[in-house]
Amino acid sequence: MLAVTIREKQLAIAEHPDPLPGAGEVLVQVRAAGLNGADQLQLRGAYPPPPGSPLDIPGLELAGEVVARGPGAERFEDGDRVMAIVGGGAQAELCVVHERQLMPVPAKLDWPQAGGLPETFTTADDALFTQADLQLGERVLISGGAGGVGTAAIQLAKAAGAHVTASVRDEGRRKEVAALGADVVCGPDESEALGPYDVLLELIGAPNLDANFTALASGARVVVIGVGAGFRSELNLLSLMGSRASICGSTLRARPLEEKAAAARTLEKNVLGGFDDGTFTVPIYQTFPLDQAAAAYESFASGGKLGKIVLVTGQ
């Protein structure tokens, strides 16, 4: 098979042996694979894949068709449209996935939308509701509302009855972000004055975190799930103490199978139906053929996008 391959912090398209599914695993013919910030970090050598995932093939999410099944894999049939979060290896023509991580693709989604759904919506759903316990009527700040996870979080929070403020650096994207359901769309330097917030979902990283800490409501919850703009920040601990806030960080990639499977079942139960009835959408910014992965990564790094950049296979 062909796969995007990291060699000495550079991208290449290279041949690899076709993977074979083991017990409980499914071989997926990949049709689309979304790009994420973690792929950029892995390319720079800053975010190695977890044990059991390919060391040199990036990609955290995919959508495609079942083409083979290992012993005991019985939930899906050959030819079924499926999607999943994986530890790595999604940016290839073939990928092996444990069947418990797989979800059915909603009928109304095309391949690029399906390929850009699993990581973004699962991450946003887990952060907002499992980690932050967002409740009806609460005020949430989504710091970085134009990216894949940000656009998913806006839709999920609005559907849950929250008041949504989204910070977006690119002024040209603010109307599109508002159309996704954000009640207020502002620049990162404006969000502090628009609080207080019961939940802060930090998708950008260090630059605005300290300022936003001064805009937290009593008992607020802060979830950090993105660090693309910086890893380190000075925090005013008096603000943290005064608001009696809590802060946590979260990733999905390195979680054990049981936790990934639980997150997938939660998304199936609570979210996937919303794609067929029009409640949710997956904004696609650009698609690139697999063999143009380097251009896709460059576009991702340049910023200014709304939604997902997705690699698609020529099959």
CB 83 within 8 A of CB 63: yes
- pLDDT value at position 256? 87
- pLDDT value at position 211? 73
Crossing angle of helices 257-270/118-125, nearest 10°?
Answer: 90
Annotated domain spans of the chain: 2-117+253-312, 120-249
- pLDDT value at position 104? 98
CATH class of the domain defined by 120-249: alpha beta
- pLDDT value at position 251? 81
The first and second tokens of residue 200, run together, are: 């802060």
Instruction: List average pLDDT for each run of 10 residues in the chain, which is 315 residues long.
Output: 94 96 97 94 88 92 98 96 96 97 97 96 95 97 92 97 94 92 94 93 76 87 77 72 82 86 95 95 96 95 89 81
* DSSP sequence for 113-146: HHHTSHHHHHHHHIIIIIIS---TT-EEEEESTT
- pLDDT value at position 245? 82
- pLDDT value at position 227? 64
Give the predicted TM-score (pTM) of the model: 0.92
CATH code of the domain made up of 2-117+253-312: 3.90.180.10
- pLDDT value at position 242? 76
